[in-house]
Structure 1
Amino acid sequence: MTAKKGLQIASLAGIPIYVSWSWWFFAALIMVVFRPTFAQALPQTSTAWTWAVAAFFVLIMFGTVLIHELAHALAASSFRWKVNEVTLNFWGGATVYEHSSTGKAQTPLRSLTVAIVGPISNLIIAAAAWLILQVLLDPAGTAQVLLTITVWTNLLIGVFNLLPGHPLDGGRVVESAVWAATGSRARGMRAAGWSGRIIVLFLLVGGVLVPLIQTGEISPFTLVIVVLLSTMLWQAASAAIKAAQAQLLAEQLTITELTTPVQTILSDASISKLIPLLTGSGPGHEYQQLPIAVLELDTHNGHEVPVGLVDSHALASVPRSAWHLPVHTVARALNPQAQVHKSDTVETLFTTFMEFPNELIAVIDDSQVPHRVLGIINPESLAGRLQD
């Protein structure tokens, strides 16, 4: 199965595993870069054999990164969080997961656990390869070369990912520590973002400046990799800082202050019932001014359940002769599960955004029985407001 994100190669516990198109370039690059190393380490072998060894090393790297990402995925799943996908790419891999309302609450310790298991898996692989090396009968053959490079690459991957800065796994460690100390996940995100920027500076100094000072030159390949990696890390760290600042600003407000009030109407009411809720006079113009939530009533407790939002364009296209149609025919569907209570914290709101990305969030007043819908929160509008 193919998709924009790459080729789906498998599914584990319902989690799709993709190999991105950039990974194939990474695989070819690894073969080209490491083939001379294998040729030097195995001087008695043919050129074809060294290419075969390089290809086998690519498979080892593939398995290494896959185990790393699956460790993240399985840890998140153990807390019943929703894992959307695992993708292997040029820079290694990524596991996309989000908190689920049916799962365990997000805490600094659980976030730390999901982050730390990835690098730990690399260190375990390195240790296992080293132990096999100790009992290897042929200390100078292909197996010895592959095991040795497996030890060092896994040590490098494990240690690098433990560096304390976003978006590396060590950044999640920083985030969790600050979150536990301050009670604010946003402060943890901001700290991890800034430490990520510092890591980029060290990477540029150690990868570019130091070699230039010591030898007066640097290989074009090293320069390109360091610059590309630094750019990716800097952009991710900056995005984390920006998101954290927006969340910190939002935390100074209440859910009610972030809510856009709405008028409400039942989904089976006729479109003609909308007319008293509208303002203005020009067809199409008035419909832009007032959001109207479409509701259904829970038959068990009478609570209001938001199921849609009146679509101004659809409403404007309905002739008067069709005003007898039910309101839900001119409504944009809403996810009734995407909601927060007016008494919830803003951190709960941001967690809900992660669980229901790109969804409008309904704000429920649960202090009354039956519950009422107070309004909606649009993540795009809120982001624009917090960035102004």
Structure 2
Amino acid sequence: MRTGSPGWRIGSISGVPVYLGRSWVLVALLMVAIFGPTVDRLVPGLGAGAYVVALIFALLLLVSVLVHEAAHAVVAQRVGFRVSRIVADFWGGHTAHDGAGGTPGRSAAVAVVGPLSNGVLAVLGWWLFSALASQPPGMAPGEFGGSTTSAVLFLLAYAFAWANTFVGVFNLVPGLPLDGGFLLEALVWKVSGNRHLGTMVAGWAGRMLVVLVAIYALLPVLQGQQVSLTRVLWAVIIGAFLWQGASQAVTVGRHGAISSRRTVGEAALRPGVVPADTLLGSVPWPEHPIWVVTGADGRADGVVDPRSLQQVPVEARARTAVSAVAVRLPAGWAVEMDPQTRLDTVIEVMRSSGSGVVGLLDPSGRPWGVVMADALTRRS
């Protein structure tokens, strides 16, 4: 089957698979390019070693991201959510959980532990920084002199402490997709009783935050000063991340408001079910608008849109397996759900699994329906 992996699996935390997204390589390269010259300036004589130190800093940031996401995952499990994966990528990281049975309190608990974990790391970093600054061998406090090793450790401790302080505080800003945005969403949800309203409010708050970031980046221009390339670069990266997540939240909230007035049964397509090793030529494709593909264990593993058969020549279909045209979907895409369930429940499954297609299972685990993302926007 064709599949889209979230990256390289590097381990698991509390039974949850942890992936290193391929885009994280860009983070490492960016940190080396930006931090390397700074290290070379502050600790003269390292040469190419300055970029090795910058790479070590990038790895320390990766550890911080994983601790942050692990905190989300563990608390999500504790409050009853099913967590499917943790991914560290270019935008930092994310923890996918289903949110079924969620409440404002549970949502807030999952959100707040991420920044708190960065706060703990920041305290450890500042403690180590203070310890190195108080009695550095051959180095006056606060100076990057003395032995090269001491200077490098001093610099890494400072950078690690500062980075975690910034991430912890910045993540508490009330605007999606930051953790503070989820806290704002939970607050509006609690007060109004409408989660979708909370999502839209927090999404618009995230968009306003992008405006503030842009103003901050261009502030020197308003004061008649030049703007450094690094300042602009960070503003663009942070602004793009925030705008993308905030806009997605506004869209999800709007779709949720529409979907809350409909049931899953009204939006679901009735699928055919076919094992992955079945030959294409033996399947009556026109009988269903979409087909759910099952793996060797009999579980729903992906889907086939009959239109994708155009990729396979007619003469080859008698010897080609369904798996050749099937699209394998992320873990958690197929869930047990009653036809009378509100359609906005499907949005939670899509948010947690990252799939634009949700398979609906009966109590025996057999697929009875499929909901596509475009069904969420239809009003009737």
TM-score, with normalisation over the residues of structure 1?
A: 0.69
1:146 aligns with 2:156: yes
Partner of 1:199: 209
- Tell me which of 367, 373, 378 is aligned to 1:380: 373
The letter of the residue matching 1:383 is L
Partner of 2:104: 108
Shift of 1:52: 3.4
Partner of 1:179: 189
Query: Do the aligned residues in 2 keep the contact of 1:84 with 1:96 (CA within 8 Å)?
Result: yes
Query: Do the aligned residues in 1 keep the contact of 2:258 with 2:377 (CA within 8 Å)?
Result: no
- Structure number with greater CO (CA < 8 Å, separation at least 6) is 2
The letter of the residue matching 1:248 is A
Shift of 1:24: 1.6
Correspondence list, 1:288-303, <5 A: none
Query: Do the aligned residues in 1 keep the contact of 2:88 with 2:94 (CA within 8 Å)?
Result: yes
The letter of the residue matching 1:338 is E
Cα separation, partners in 2 of 1:52 and 1:192, compared to 1, 3 Å: same
Correspondence list, 1:162-241, <5 A: 162-207=172-217, 209-241=218-250
1:62 aligns with 2:62: yes
CA distance in 1, matches of 2:209, 2:161: 24
Correspondence list, 1:1-388, <5 A: 4-43=5-44, 45-99=45-99, 105-136=101-132, 137-138=135-136, 139=141, 140=143, 141-142=150-151, 143-207=153-217, 209-251=218-260, 253-255=261-263, 258=266, 287=287, 338-340=336-338, 342=340, 344-345=341-342, 347-348=344-345, 350-351=347-348, 358-361=357-360, 378-380=371-373, 382-386=375-379
**SS of match in other structure, 2:11:** strand
Query: Do the aligned residues in 2 keep the contact of 1:363 with 1:377 (CA within 8 Å)?
Result: no
Query: Do the aligned residues in 2 keep the contact of 1:259 with 1:363 (CA within 8 Å)?
Result: no
Query: Do the aligned residues in 2 keep the contact of 1:261 with 1:376 (CA within 8 Å)?
Result: yes
CA distance in 2, matches of 1:256, 1:83: 23
Shift of 1:351: 4.1
CA distance in 1, matches of 2:128, 2:109: 28
Cα separation, partners in 2 of 1:130 and 1:249, compared to 1, 3 Å: same
The letter of the residue matching 1:161 is N
The letter of the residue matching 1:29 is L
Cα offsets for 1:302-334 (capped at 9, x unmatched): xxxxxxx9x999xxxxxxxxxxxxxxxxxxxxx
Structure with greater Cα Rg = 1
CA distance in 2, matches of 1:338, 1:125: 39
CA distance in 2, matches of 1:224, 1:336: 40
Shift of 1:6: 2.3
CA distance in 1, matches of 2:131, 2:285: 79
Query: Do the aligned residues in 2 keep the contact of 1:122 with 1:157 (CA within 8 Å)?
Result: yes
Shift of 1:227: 2.3
Cα separation, partners in 2 of 1:90 and 1:376, compared to 1, 3 Å: closer
Cα offsets for 1:43-94 (capped at 9, x unmatched): 4x43244333223222211211111111111111223422222121122212
Shift of 1:19: 1.6
Shift of 1:339: 1.6
Query: Do the aligned residues in 2 keep the contact of 1:82 with 1:98 (CA within 8 Å)?
Result: yes
Cα separation, partners in 2 of 1:261 and 1:352, compared to 1, 3 Å: same
CA distance in 2, matches of 1:47, 1:261: 62
CA distance in 1, matches of 2:245, 2:91: 13
How many residues are matched?
314
CA distance in 1, matches of 2:6, 2:262: 38
CA distance in 1, matches of 2:194, 2:171: 24
Query: Do the aligned residues in 1 keep the contact of 2:265 with 2:339 (CA within 8 Å)?
Result: no
Shift of 1:349: 5.3
**Percent of counterpart pairs with the same letter?**
30
Cα separation, partners in 2 of 1:354 and 1:243, compared to 1, 3 Å: closer
CA distance in 1, matches of 2:268, 2:89: 40
Query: Do the aligned residues in 1 keep the contact of 2:126 with 2:157 (CA within 8 Å)?
Result: yes
The letter of the residue matching 2:337 is Q
**SS of match in other structure, 2:23:** helix
Shift of 1:246: 1.7
Shift of 1:159: 1.4
**SS of match in other structure, 1:106:** coil
The letter of the residue matching 2:205 is S
CA distance in 2, matches of 1:145, 1:336: 48
**SS of match in other structure, 2:64:** helix
Cα separation, partners in 2 of 1:361 and 1:165, compared to 1, 3 Å: same
